[in-house]
């Protein structure tokens, strides 16, 4: 490398930016953001991808961004990110979180004055060689949920059966975990618990909690299993 800035962008969507000190990408599971670019010293911008549908201008989840940020330098840095092209308005506060490992922390963010679409600026401290994820939602990759369900089904094979009821528009499996006490007799009522049809929703965590509750020894859970539940 000759010290000049090197920018590598996906020619279709601009979902990756690389220079000698920084790598920013949305090219990963649950990643979202386009036209990633540098607009100043340690200052970057990304366009949030809008819903494929009409979107709701009063709904914070009618847009979603999530990028992976790697500090390639040997020094800690304070980075600024302008998130733009958001199709909602009427809010005077922005919410952005940084994910380090399994820990989420809210980072400072401020709404930017604009005559067009809503925009905001987030600020994050990144240590030398550190990688963080920035997002407006506590995302949970579908592949991790499928792996967790697989482990649960194997661990509790006497109570659980894992199957699938189809696939998403992007080809991901839609899993269904059936929890039932095989020793129970008589007709069983069935209850379906489902969540997270959109990537920015976090209902999968609620489903996980319900599953863990039902597989425990709580007297309520024991009675429910006799009737049969679908997750």
Q: Are 128 and 75 in contact (CB under 8 A)?
A: yes
Q: Are residues 38 and 58 in the same domain?
A: yes
Domain termination residue (choose one: 115, 135, 155): 135
Domain termination residue (choose one: 116, 135, 154): 135
CATH number for 59: 2.60.40
- Residue 2, domain member (yes or no): no
- Residue 6, domain member (yes or no): no
Q: Are residues 146 and 112 in the same domain?
A: no
Q: Are residues 51 and 123 in the same domain?
A: yes
Domain termination residue (choose one: 106, 135, 164): 135
Q: Are residues 158 and 75 in the same domain?
A: no
Query: Domain span at residue 205?
Result: 142-230
Residue in the block written with tokens 């992007």 = 170
What is Dmax (Cα atoms) for the chain? 76
Q: Are strands 43-47 and 173-179 parallel, antiparallel or unpaired?
A: unpaired
The pLDDT tens digits along the chain (231 residues) read 444 544 544 434 589 999 999 999 999 988 989 999 999 999 999 998 766 555 555 454 567 889 999 999 999 999 999 998 876 655 678 889 999 988 999 999 998 887 767 889 999 999 999 999 999 887 788 888 899 999 999 999 988 999 998 887 778 888 999 888 776 556 667 778 887 666 556 778 888 898 999 898 888 887 777 764 444
Q: Are residues 118 and 147 in the same domain?
A: no
Q: How far is CA 30 from CA 33, 35, 85, 143, in A?
A: 10, 17, 19, 10
- Please give the structure tokens belonging to residue 80: 């600024």
Q: Are 65 and 16 in contact (CB under 8 A)?
A: no
- Residue 10, domain member (yes or no): no
Residue in the block written with tokens 């494929």 = 52
Asked whether the CA dihedral 102, 106, 107, 110 is positive or negative, the reply is positive
Q: Whole-model pTM?
A: 0.76
Q: Are 97 and 135 in contact (CB under 8 A)?
A: yes
- Residue 27, domain member (yes or no): yes
Q: Are residues 26 and 122 in the same domain?
A: yes
> How many independent structural domains does the chain possess?
2
């Amino acid at each position: 490398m000759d010290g000049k800035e090197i920018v590598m962008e996906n020619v279709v969507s601009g979902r990756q930016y690389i220079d000698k000190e920084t790598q920013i990408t949305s090219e990963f599971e649950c990643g979202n953001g386009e036209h990633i670019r540098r607009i100043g010293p340690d200052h970057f911008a990304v366009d949030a991808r809008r819903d494929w549908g009409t979107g709701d201008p009063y709904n914070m989840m009618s847009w979603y961004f999530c990028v992976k940020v790697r500090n390639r330098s040997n020094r800690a840095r304070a980075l600024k990110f302008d998130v733009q092209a958001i199709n909602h308005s009427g809010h005077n506060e922005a919410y952005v979180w940084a994910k380090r490992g399994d820990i989420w922390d809210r980072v400072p963010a401020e709404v930017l004055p604009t005559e067009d679409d809503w925009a905001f600026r987030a600020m994050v401290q990144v240590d030398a060689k550190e990688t963080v994820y920035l997002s407006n939602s506590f995302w949970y990759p579908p592949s991790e949920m499928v792996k967790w369900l697989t482990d649960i089904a194997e661990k509790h094979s006497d109570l659980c059966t894992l199957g699938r009821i189809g696939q998403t528009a992007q080809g991901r499996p839609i899993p269904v975990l059936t929890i039932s006490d095989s020793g129970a007799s008589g007709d069983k009522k069935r209850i379906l618990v489902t969540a997270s049809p959109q990537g920015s929703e976090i209902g999968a965590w609620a489903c996980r909690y319900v599953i863990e509750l039902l597989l425990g020894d709580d007297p309520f859970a024991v009675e429910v299993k006799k009737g049969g539940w679908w997750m």
